[in-house]
Structure 1
């Protein structure tokens, strides 16, 4: 090996850089441990909400020493910025995909047009979007263009004042489309920037936000976030701030009485009709009618439908018309907006807009306001004029938010406050259709553009509101279509199990290499440890996120690294067996193994790249560590191991590359593998038929990634029976499934209840229903807030939750299909290019199809009886692609040896060549498979419940892949070549006969 000195210097320098990068993580962890100890001394466990209070103390400690030098000029804040990032599954937090409503953007660009063609196209696009993978804007244009004579450049659609600079009446639909696409993209970009600014102010370390293609989807990851409801509100709040003139309560006093009288007739007639129907209907249908009456929103309560809902009058001279119970707000609003009731209003009051105030948490009542609307129902002043907002306190010491307006806003605000002062009226400050305050103006017009929102805020709510207003409002509504929430305590358990599996796998592999290869194995172990240092150093330097599947990728890399060393050592042993001196044997062994190592790692790397490109979240983490591991494994196996071996042997020391127990192992193996191929074909055929049959009859246990729905990992204080719990859940949710997840006191609950509905309200409703259903199995003193809240010390309640909308589930399923298909095509082409014969590609792909089918079959056959989750989800697709890579790795090593033997023994029959090649690789195949299986079993047993199904798929894949590389890939290649040879031989014979004749 040339340039040993250069490689040695590079390895040392690179190792030092990796240690430097990882030092930030060690420093940050050390300081945070000190902060935890400080907090535990300050706050006793007996204090109520001690976990939250400890968090506050920890943060104060970290803030106080954040800029103090720890070592060599490095502060805690520096270390925190550069530490190795931990993913949600290791740290807890929230991962969401937000869908910015393209429909809202289109409606806004069309000024909320009432054009029939425009609204018809929107409605049709809504329906089509449920089952289509196309972007919403494409669906809208497709439906609009299908409507006869419909023009996008109509004044009622996009040829309006808003778009007057870009759209004119003469433009074709195609020309308008390009303008609208650009505007929609600008709006989504604006939404992205608004969300980014909000997140930056949220205080979470190492947040991640990125656009996903052009679909209007935005990925947000907030590791370490604990107050999940706060995060969800922050992300989804549109921050639609408006300033309206507001009517006084006494101006509507007579209206409420008149409305009540009108409603008496409306509701009374409905009740009479129901009674008449009941009388005319058989007794057997009375129960059904009563059920319908209960479901109706028009339920009369006595003789005064509206007055019976009123809890109290408004304040004299104030803007509140009346107060209502929170639970009656929907009913009251329905009454007030009935056409017969609205017709009672005359003059400017016809445009009055009824809205609610902020509910009183203590009395559970809320005030009703009437805003002074206009023909266009647009506010005199909107929140777009806000340039700054800060959380402050009002004159009464309550939490408030002060705002500063721009020049135009300040002028309008002065005009509005002047009018309110002259008319002794009030101005309602409305945020997202809720009146937060409606102050009167007592000192004359307010100049300078300063205003204030006061209400029943906590300090945190005030800060969040100020952040949202300062960042700006979203240009359209944002719905969470996929979310994953992991509690911090579950994250810590994942760290513990991940480290355990890693250390056990590493220890077993290190011991095995020394046992099998002696001192050479020890040198390989040193290279392996250096390899792991490089992987973690590169991850820290790149700012990559370490996830539990990422740890699995690193542990799998141990197997890949061992494989490269095994290939090298086996080739060196062969050269020594030929009688070569040690120096030449080492040189030739490394050179001869290089081709197999490169081919094997490139095929695995190709599947890793496909995972990286098409995968999301944890799958990207797995792919990242796998790809880094492949690169570092190549370097350490080829160069670092060589440095140690050459250094040891340069003084004439002997290196046996074996121990007394393994010296003659797998020597002179002479098995006729090809003779057994027909038996293998029959055996594999039987298993494939069984697998396909099971897939058709029993199917697969598809996770929510693929079908949509919600899953909750719930921990109880005692063991529970999943069958009993599932029965109760089915009653509550119609469809639900409960399975033990890890220990017997933990269940994974899945439901498709209201899967098509989005919004925080729906999420809260389902969690409340879940809590009430599980209450008999939970501690008696556990409240709803404790059940849903996160916390470092949490031991009971929702530990993890995930939601996937049906649209994105279809997208994930399609992406997974293309990932598998793409990997097969890429690998087929690579092998064709590398071996220059299509027969090799055919054999490799046949083996891969065989492995994938059998793995799917095993999952189909066993998912109902195995004691762990065997869902088909994104992690399973990652496992399938890894199986493909591993199977090809094995196959390519065998093919490489066949090609080598064909060149060396040109006179041998092909069958003898193939058998000899397989026999020569059997030691390597079994050694690599055994070490890889040991590694995978360590992760399977100790690596945590969340990746157990993933690991099981890999274990099945390794076993099947090892078998198929010998008994499927090679025989298929052999049979296709020999068949071709027979055809050519027959053709030559026929040509000879013709020539003779």
Structure 2
């Protein structure tokens, strides 16, 4: 009997079955858009929806195992690594560590553990020779495997085997290599003896080889490494660089086939020492000796990211969620309440059509969670930001379609014709707005790291699922309702009446208002300087109390810390190690003494003292260490680079799909929203932190989505109307989309406002910044983006209509029958 667990495991753990399932759904997807037969379209769409929902449900089940939370939400493990100095091959003496050695080790650890950006881990430099690694959701039984990955230097070397080492002489007929290894014979200049362990049919055999001291090839010569399993033989395939290939040819060209050998060493241990069967060897070779495919995969990942400096794990700890179970519950319940209010509004406002929209949103949510589970992605605060954005865009897509449907019904069309026309006309706006956000997400994933990648991953999955649910799912439901005669008419509430406001005449006033706010924001940043950035960006100190078997409530500690006048906001975290419980506070450099004094005064446990010799000391000692920024200058550069490239990508796409005037308007509005949102937060006295980065990315995505919808309507009006006054046409287009703009903004604002009020202190900063961004984004789409489009098109006596009609892609818009 197939239970859901067994079915899910059999499908998701078999790569071929999973691939075939995905391929079948992809074929159905393209078949759906390729056919023009309504009944066939309806049936294919139904199978596609059911298949997608089943696959996502199986990926999620059971949710406790398959939905992974970030370290802020679920806790995990913390490892403290000490970077060891390299040894000079000529003198044998250690080479002093440099800051670059620490940065290289940090970078390699991130790549090994999080190559795809699927895990919201944190890697920070600590002191002059330590690296702190925090990994979410690591179970106790998985911790040793992570430890092994961290501990592995992956120093790969290829050395020539001296055949004299196999000669047997002396007592016991030992080989020369074995006698040298056991120090029963003097060392041979230029050579070192190594132990070589081989396992065959579960029988381990130890032999000895004599190798040259200098490696012919090293890990720097490896271009690519990957695991393979052919005919039950597990190995790691290696491909060398061009320089590595030359070194391999030089090493093997004078060797004798079937006689000479090459030894492959990893971290100074001989993995294999095969006899050369063909000379000279070239660019590709294999390393054998792994017991299973997982071991080969781990080795290949390490070989692709070799450490130049060895590392030693000096501490590992189990850490509690930074936000705590209470805060997580608050966030979840406030989100559920906010979404429920949004759903209720959609249901009341759009009535029967609202039921269809809610079904589409439910499928959208299932696909987001299913996609995250299917690819083992991690939910974090920035990831949740991506979810909020995609839910907002999914609601927006439905509002776009329904407001178009209202117009078509008002024009006297039959219900079936009106539904078809509404989907057809709304498609380009939905497509363009989602594609621009998708461009941003892809660039963020490509350029960013850590939390930025987490946001990009969630946003990408959400965008694809929202387009699927809004365009395909709801359309198929309407087809069934029409074909089964279940839907004879549709009625909507009409609270936002048609308007004829002259928005573009307010351009100068809006420029003045925005200019004043931007100047004030820039002034606030200049005045506050580094104090406008949180510890995430600037680094600081970690204050640690070793509590052993005692306990302090982290939330009570947070309350006590909040009362201390500090240079920057501090964060509190509870951790567990083999020695017991620890309490750590990350704070600005110089704040640690004040926080320590305040906590010892607030908690009797920390105030207890004992005698140490003739001196009285605190029973619970405090340790202070400098710590690098968890984001730091590199993260800041990555964020700015990702945002800059995203803006350029959007500029290019809008230029191709619309015209450069529109691209410039969207670019200016997006830059305006990001700068102003961050500036107002700083003006209000807050510090920019990791949470704010997620919020800014959300605002950028939401802003461009709103702007594109208005641009699409303006372009449509310019192409279809004979009106000569372009300014008047643009005003009409903005007024036509005003109801959609207000409805979408209000539903999203209500959801975020509830999170800000009831979501707890940890989510308050995040929600407040998004609220500010939503208001600014809605304002800029109307009062900044559109006036810039008009100004640029008219600056040399040009005509926006002619530009639109002249644009090739604008004349051949993407049309698809959903």
State the TM-score, normalizing by the size of structure 2.
0.63
What residue number does 1:844 align with? 666
Provide the rounded CA distance (Å) in 2 between the counterparts of 1:711 and 1:947.
23
Contact kept, 8 Å, 1:704 with 1:809, in 2: the verdict is no
Long gaps (5+) in structure 2: 1-35, 154-186, 210-301, 545-552, 574-582, 610-619, 801-818
For 1:658-673, what aligned pairs fall within 5 Å after superposition?
Answer: 658-659=491-492, 662-663=493-494, 665-673=495-503
CA apart distance, 1:752: 2.5
For 1:676, the equivalent position in structure 2 comes to 506
Q: Does 1:921 align with 2:751?
A: no
Q: What residue is the counterpart of 2:445 in the other structure?
A: 612
- The structure with the larger Rg is 1
Rounded Cα–Cα distance in structure 1 between residues aligned with 2:358 and 2:76: 36
Structure 1 segment 807-956 matched on structure 2, within 5 A = 809-835=632-658, 837-863=659-685, 870-956=686-772
**CA apart distance, 1:487:** 0.8
The equivalent of 2:456 in structure 1 is: 623
In structure 2, the partner of 1:639 is: 472
- Indicate if the aligned counterparts of 2:408 and 2:418 stay in contact, CA closer than 8 A: yes
The 5-angstrom pairing of residues 54-133 of structure 1 reads 80=65, 83-94=66-77, 104-105=85-86, 107-112=87-92, 126=98
Match of 1:16 among 33, 46, 54: 54
Shift of 1:405: 10
Residues 870-928 of structure 1: per-residue CA shift (max 9 Å, x gap): 43234423322322221111111111111100011133311111001001000111111
Structure 1 segment 354-365 matched on structure 2, within 5 A: none
Q: Whole-Å Cα distance in 1 between the matches of residues 89 and 333 of structure 2?
A: 56
Are the structure 2 counterparts of residues 736 and 638 from structure 1 closer, same or farther at C-alpha, using a change threshold of 3 Å? closer
Give the aligned partner of residue 518 of structure 2.
688
The match for 1:595 is: 428
The question of 1:715 aligning with 2:591 is answered no
Choose the corresponding residue for 2:402, options 540, 547, 569: 569
Shift of 1:539: 1.7
| Structure 1 equivalent of residue 773 of structure 2 | 957
Residue in 1 aligned with 2:353?
520
Gaps of 5+ in 1: 30-79, 138-184, 197-205, 240-375, 389-403, 410-470, 728-734, 755-765, 785-796, 864-869, 985-997
Alignment-derived partner of residue 221 in structure 1: 135
Q: 1:476 to 1:748 in 2, by over 3 A?
A: closer
Instruction: State the distance in 1 between where 2:68 and 2:630 align.
Output: 31
Verify the 8 A CA contact 2:561 2:599 in the aligned structure 1. no
Distance 2:571 2:632 in 1: 21
- Check whether the contact 1:694–1:857 (CA below 8 A) recurs between aligned residues: yes
User: Following TM superposition, by how much is the alpha carbon of 1:860 offset from its aligned partner in structure 2, in angstroms?
Assistant: 1.5
The answer to whether the Cα contact below 8 Å between 2:692 and 2:765 also exists between their aligned partners in 1 is yes
**Corresponding residue for 1:751?**
588
Secondary structure in 1 matching 2:767: helix
More strand by share: 2
Relative to the length of structure 1, the TM-score reads 0.52
**Using a 3 Å threshold, how does the CA distance of structure 1 residues 968 and 719 change in structure 2: closer, same or farther?**
closer
Is the counterpart of residue 970 in structure 1 residue 786 in structure 2?
A: yes
Q: Deviations over 1:385-444 (max 9, x none)?
A: 8999xxxxxxxxxxxxxxx995459xxxxxxxxxxxxxxxxxxxxxxxxxxxxxxxxxxx
- How far apart in 2 are the matches of 1:956 and 1:818? 24
CA distance in 2, matches of 1:620, 1:566: 30
Deviations 1:228-252 (A, max 9, x none): 999999888799xxxxxxxxxxxxx
- Rounded to whole Å, the distance in 2 between the matches of 1:655 and 1:100 is 72
Q: Which residue of 2 aligns with 1:283?
A: none
Aligned length: 595
Distance apart, 1:4 and its partner CA: 1.0
1:851 deviation in Å?
A: 1.0
CA distance in 1, matches of 2:542, 2:142: 16
Q: Distance in 1 between matches of 2:93 and 2:67?
A: 51
Residues 234/674 of structure 1: CA separation in 2 closer, same or farther (3 Å cut): same
Tell me by how many angstroms 1:526 deviates. 1.1
Residue 605 of structure 2: aligned partner: 780
After the TM superposition, which residues 502-521 of structure 1 pair with which residues of structure 2 at under 5 Å, given as runs? 502-521=335-354
- C-alpha contact (below 8 Å) 2:385/2:698 kept by paired residues: no
1:823–1:881: 8 Å Cα contact kept in structure 2? no
Summarize deviations over 1:437-481 as a string: whole Å, max 9, x none: xxxxxxxxxxxxxxxxxxxxxxxxxxxxxxxxxx99987343899
Q: 1:323 aligns to what? A: none
SS at structure 2 position matched to 1:906: coil
Shift of 1:935: 2.1
**TM-align CA RMSD:** 5.0
* C-alpha deviation, 1:493, in angstroms: 3.1
Q: Deviations over 1:949-996 (max 9, x none)?
A: 222222211110100000000001101112222699xxxxxxxxxxxx
Alignment CA distance shift 1:724-1:690 (3 Å): closer
Equivalent residue, structure 1, for 2:414: 581
SS at match of 1:16: helix
| Offset from partner CA, 1:154-200 (integer Å, 9 cap, x none) | xxxxxxxxxxxxxxxxxxxxxxxxxxxxxxx9xx79x998x99xxxx
Give SS of 1:981's match.
Answer: coil
Q: How far has the Cα of 1:207 moved from its partner?
A: 11
Q: Deviations over 1:13-57 (max 9, x none)?
A: 2212222222233xxx5xxxxxxxxxxxxxxxxxxxxxxxxxxxx
The separation in 1 between residues aligned to 2:507 and 2:459, in whole angstroms, is 33
Which whole-Å deviations, capped at 9, do the CAs of 1:635-686 have from their partners, x for residues lacking one? 1111111122232234556565544xx23x3333111111111211121122
Listed one character per residue, the Cα deviations across residues 291-331 of structure 1 (whole Å, up to 9, x for unaligned) are xxxxxxxxxxxxxxxxxxxxxxxxxxxxxxxxxxxxxxxxx
Q: Distance in 1 between matches of 2:111 and 2:361?
A: 43
